[in-house]
Amino acid sequence: MYTLAGRVGVVTGGGGGIGREIARRLAGEGMAMAVLDRDGAAARRVAAELGGLAVSADVTAADEVAAAVDAILARYGKIEVLVNNAGICWTGPALDMPPETLRTMLKVNVEGVFLVSRAILPHMIARRSGSVINLASWAGKTGNAYFAGYSASKFAVIGLTQALAREMAPHGIRVNAICPGIVVDTAMRAALEAQQRQYGLPQTAEREKLIPLGRVSVPDDIARVAAFLASDEAAYMTGEAINLSGGLLMD
C-alpha cells in the first residue's frame, strides 16, 4: 500500500494543468502540499482547495526559489517529495524558432529543474531520504519534428535526472522522470493547438489516432504515476524515465 500520509511535498507549476492534478492527488493521499507557481493567484487557488501552502516563485529566479524553500520549511519543517513540473513549450518549424525562444525554454525547463533541486536536495540529504520526480516528455526521448527546442530541453531533463539519481542514491534519495505523451486539459496543450493551427501542423485529434491505447491522456493519468514514484512502492526505482504515452513511445 502507498505510505504517503503525513509526508510533505512541493509541486512546481502546481497552479494549473498536470502540476495541479499531481498536487491534488498527493494531498488526497494524505500529504501536506506546497504549491509553487510563478502565477501566485493560481498557486493560492490550488493551495486553498487542498489546505496547503501557496508559494509564488519563478523557478528560474534563484532568490525567489530560496525564499520559497524557506517558507515551506518554516511551515512544514521538511520536504520529502519534490515534483519538478513547471515547464513551457513552443512548437513550429525549427528554422522559425527565435533563438530567444530556445533560450527561454532551456532556462525554464532545464535550469529551473536544476535550481529548485539545488535548493531542496541539501534538506533531503540531511534527512537521508526523498523522492524527486521530474516532468520530462516523450519528446525527451525522440526528436519530433516541430519540437526541436522543446525536445532539446527535455532530453536535458532526462540527463539531469540520471546524473542526479546516481549522485543522490548514496544519500537515500531517488530521482526519476515521467515522460508523458499528449496530455489534454492543460493550458500548454491549448497553446500548442493554437500554434499547430498557425503552422498547419497535425492537431491533437489527428495525432490521437497514432496512440495504441486509443486515447490521449488527462492530467490524472500522470498524477497516478507521480504518486507511485513518490511512495515507497517505488523504493527500488531510481534514474528511470518512465514512458506514459499510451504506447505512443515504447523503448
Ligand X SMILES: NC(=O)c1ccc[n+]([C@@H]2O[C@H](COP(=O)([O-])OP(=O)(O)OC[C@H]3O[C@@H](n4cnc5c(N)ncnc54)[C@H](O)[C@@H]3O)[C@@H](O)[C@H]2O)c1
150 is known as an active-site residue: yes
CA distance 135 to 59: 14
113 binds ligand X (CB under 6 A): no
- Type of residue found at 131: S
CA distance 22 to 15: 10
193 binds ligand X (CB under 6 A): no
Grid cell locating 173: 534519495
Grid cell locating 176: 526519476
Site for ligand X in 29-68 (CB under 6 A): 37-39, 42, 58-60
Q: For ligand X, which residue of 8, 50, 135, 230 counts as binding (CB under 6 A)?
A: 135
196 binds ligand X (CB under 6 A): no
Tell me how far, at minimum, the Cβ of 197 lies from ligand X, in Å: 16
Residues whose CB falls within 8 Å of the CB of residue 154, separated by 6 or more in sequence, listed in order = 109, 136, 137, 139, 140, 179
Tell me how far, at minimum, the Cβ of 29 lies from ligand X, in Å: 20
Site for ligand X in 61-100 (CB under 6 A): 85-89
Q: Which is nearer to ligand X, 89 or 158 (CB)?
A: 89
Taking phi first (over 0 means left), then psi (-120 to 50 degrees means alpha), and beta for anything else, what does residue 146 get?
A: left
Please name the helix (run of DSSP H) or strand (run of DSSP E) that holds residue 135, with its range, or none: strand 130-135
Of 2, 76, 146, 150, which one is the catalytic site residue?
A: 150
Tell me how far, at minimum, the Cβ of 135 lies from ligand X, in Å: 4
Tell me how far, at minimum, the Cβ of 204 lies from ligand X, in Å: 9
